Amino acid sequence: HKDRELRVHENLDELSTDLADYIAELSEASVKERGVFAIALSGGSLISLMGKLCEAPYNKTVDWIKWYIFWADERVVAKNHADSNYKLAKDSLFSKVPVVPSHVHSINDSVSAEEAADEYEFVIRQLVKSRVISVSDTSDCPKFDLIVLGMGSDGHVASLFPNHSVLEETDEWVTFITDSPKPPPERITFTLPVINSASNVVLVVTGDSKADAVHLALDDAGTDCPLVPARMVQPTIGKLMWFLDKPAASKLDAS
Ligand code: 6PG
């Protein structure tokens, strides 16, 4: 695996410090190189694990006004709904630091899932044109500076669930589902080509309920093994970094 690294941490406190360090470094490098940092987030526990970014020293060193924030997946619910990934990130992170409100790209919560996905892709296309988001070197896909993903115990990432037809989507950048096995059912999600075009992808996975899926995603699998979506996260050129705690890493072959 050309550019994949695993970091297994003793506990969540160490993991969250390392994660904040890593994201702060990527942000600094990107702002230096391009003047902006285009980051896409998911929902779930990774948001609180990113919390140290809002504290010293990171809250001083991260150039928040240069951040452009997107969601790799979002539940199609009102922005103030408890299930909203936007609300989670706003409450836990972005209400605490000086991000520019117009750089925070939440989905339109007053249209259908299909329209929300189309609109979101349109917004991303405009920002690729203006180079707020870079463009892939090998396709016309957007090249986010960083996409941060969690993984479910079924191996799903973003809202790409096992055996779902959206795993095969190659034309759209942002698509929608109305049959998510994990509620709420309606979601929009980046497709694999977009995830795999990013400069950096981070997977944050903790807890023993994820150990089987971590094994299926990372270890050499036999041909009869179920193909978990997390295994399909393989950036073409970018770097993939897994942040794990010991319980999540406990079923890896090497451990
Ligand atoms: C979702 C989330 C999803 C999340 C994983 C892991 O809607 O399912 O956006 O992508 O990151 O399910 O979540 P946990 O880390 O909380 O288990």
Tally Cβ neighbours within 10 Å of residue 150. 24
Is residue 2 a contact partner of residue 109, using CB atoms and an 8 Å limit? Answer: no
From first to last of its 255 residues, the chain has per-residue pLDDT tens of: 568 999 999 999 999 999 999 999 999 999 999 999 999 999 999 999 999 999 999 988 899 999 999 999 999 999 999 999 999 999 999 999 999 999 999 999 999 999 999 999 999 999 999 999 999 999 999 999 999 999 999 999 999 999 999 999 999 999 999 999 999 999 999 999 999 999 999 999 999 999 999 999 999 877 777 789 999 999 999 999 999 999 999 999 975
Q: Cα–Cα distance between 225 and 248 in angstroms, integer?
A: 19
Residue ranges around ligand 1 (CB below 6 Å):
42-46, 73, 85, 150-152, 158-159, 182
Ligand 1: centre distance to CA 166 (Å): 17
CATH of 4-249, one of 3.60.21.10, 3.90.1150.10, 1.10.357.10, 3.40.50.1360: 3.40.50.1360
ipTM field: 0.93
pTM to 2 decimals? Answer: 0.97
Ligand 1: centre distance to CA 176 (Å): 16
**Could you state, in order of their start, the residue ranges of all structural domains in the chain?**
4-249
CA distances in angstroms from 179 to 30, 148, 188, listed in the order given: 36, 23, 11
Ligand 1 atom with the smallest distance to the CA of 158 is 10
